[in-house]
Amino acid sequence: MNDNSPGGPLAGLSKLGRAYRHMGRFTEVGAVLVKFGFDDLLLRLGLTELLAQARGLIGIKPPERLPAGRSERVRLAMEELGVVFIKWGQYLSSREDLIPEAYIREFSKLQNSVQPTPFEDIERLLSGIIASGELVGLEPEPLAAASVGQVHAARLSDGREVAVKVRRPGLRKQVLTDLEILAELAALVEKHLPALASARPSAMVAEFGRALTAELDFTIEAVNLERFGRFYAANPKVKIPKIYRSLCNDRVLVMERVEGLKFNDAEGLKAAGYDLRELARFGAEVVFEQIMTFGFFHGDPHPGNLLVQPGPRIALLDFGLVGRLNRHTRDILLDMTVGMVRRRPRAVTHALLKLVNVEGDAPPDRERLEVEVDLFMEATLGRPLKEVNLGRLLNDMMSVAAQYQLSLPSDLLLLIKALVQVEGLGYKLDPEFDLADVARPFVIGQYRRRFSPGHWFKRFGDSLADLKDFLEMLPGDLKPLYHMLRSGRFKIDFILDGMDDLRQTVDRASYRLSFAVVLASLVIGSSVVIHADIPPKWHDLPVLGLVGFLGAAVVGFWLLYDFLKNRRF
């Protein structure tokens, strides 16, 4: 039986659109869901045919004992489904505003622990560089293996040691297939599970897909790496690996090999003589400098991407995921921070509404939101600043925004995730670590910059530049209007909502008034004719007077019927 036969796995599934092309993989996804006890989910999504195919898939047998917790079973299913679903779980673990805490805990356990790609496949991908003689001594054992790629040590022809990052063969096709399936599942969730539709799963999957596909393109990471290299070119305390662009492409990244102790290796760092408290603070300062000064920050500062070298010096690795904050966004974040410190809920609410996207059709109730922000600030900031967990505070603020159908842009979500990671690393090295205290000098510095003469001169210069652009474009924009005025073709069309209903009401009133005037005229005229006793007569009554009264009666009864029918008294 082929896939297109009436009883095949595609039966009844053409509604799945793009995923129709990947029914083999779609059935595998369904089989894993069945294996971990999610038959009910497939039924609720209307995938009865897929459920039947998944149950019949050879080799899929439920384990003898499934974990009782649904959240743990979801995590296990994601791990079995591979790269895209693992990374989807990792992405969801940062959405504490939308995901229940039990799922956040489980998704936080997801790791990119995968088997390395066979060395023969790696050699085949690098055959051009190796044949040119520019790359020698490629070591078979990878230094690291992750879901997207793996890193091998090697040397250049002049003896310099490098790290070669290679994207897994066939990964791009696999990722695009799973992203399409994930998108179709999200659409079905929105259609069949209204309780989850408010989280906008389709939009979340689209955002996640853009980030993941960008991560697959190593040329983007190369550009990011070079940009960070420029930022820290004169800073001896931060090490950014040098990149060899002539050897790089979208699947291969060749960079200087950097070694050091992992940032969370408290025992190793202590044994090497580092001051853990100062190191925790220094690591956080590096991240805050990126956020507040550069507006371009490392989006995944986990321990494997932060190494400590003698000095101490921090080496940053893996620039596939970065965040960007323009000056305007940073100024709004500054306004929000200052408003929270000064306990001004109106200022905080005003800044928050500038940052978020409104998901519903109607704008949020600003006064209610301001009351909610005030209550949040009293509950969160009504204790010594040292006791405030900044990461938790930011996530709680996201939860407040979500209640009013407000969502943060992806870069701000990435910012919160990065700060939570940095705060966690800080606590690992120093139980007394205070991220808010680290942030204070950066906030004060940016606040002072705002009132400096140089800042105002720059803003004035930017305004002049905008005015210059406007004045240069204005003649061209006004030219069509001038031609229409000269030719007499200029006209203005007004469209006023509700005018049709008003016109119809006025028309009905005019008709009724006209009939009322006719009725009055008939009554008065008929009375005059009868009083004048004008012949011809019928039973001693003038015929014209009787006809007039009869017509008046007809008009009067019609008006009465119209009033009663339309309930207008």
Give the count of beta carbons closer than 10 Å to the beta carbon of residue 338: 18
Report d(CA 138, CA 149) in Å as an integer. 16
How much is the CA Rg of the chain, to the nearest whole Å?
36
Q: Give the HSE-up count for residue 430: Cα atoms under 13 Å, Cβ half-sphere.
A: 18
The pair of three-digit structure tokens given for residue 30, joined into one six-digit string: 């369904």
Report d(CA 499, CA 497) in Å as an integer. 6
Q: Which of 97, 300, 318, 335 is catalytic?
A: 300
Give the count of beta carbons closer than 10 Å to the beta carbon of residue 186: 21
DSSP letter, residue 46: T
How does DSSP assign 354-371, residue by residue? HHSEE-SSSPP-HHHHHH
Q: Which residue has the tokens 């990947």?
A: 22
Q: Identify which of 288, 334, 293, 347 has the alpha carbon closest to the alpha carbon of residue 314.
A: 288
Q: Which residue has the tokens 């990052």?
A: 165
15-31 b/e (C-beta count within 10 Å ≥ 16 → b): ebeebeebbebbbbbbb
Report d(CA 506, CA 3) in Å as an integer. 65
Q: Identify which of 81, 108, 80, 74 has the alpha carbon closest to the alpha carbon of residue 92.
A: 108
Give the count of beta carbons closer than 10 Å to the beta carbon of residue 498: 7
Helix (H, G, I), strand (E, B) or coil at 258: coil
Q: Is 300 marked active-site?
A: yes
Cβ-in-10-Å burial (0-12, 13-18, 19+) of 380 comes to middle
Catalytic residue positions, numbered: 300
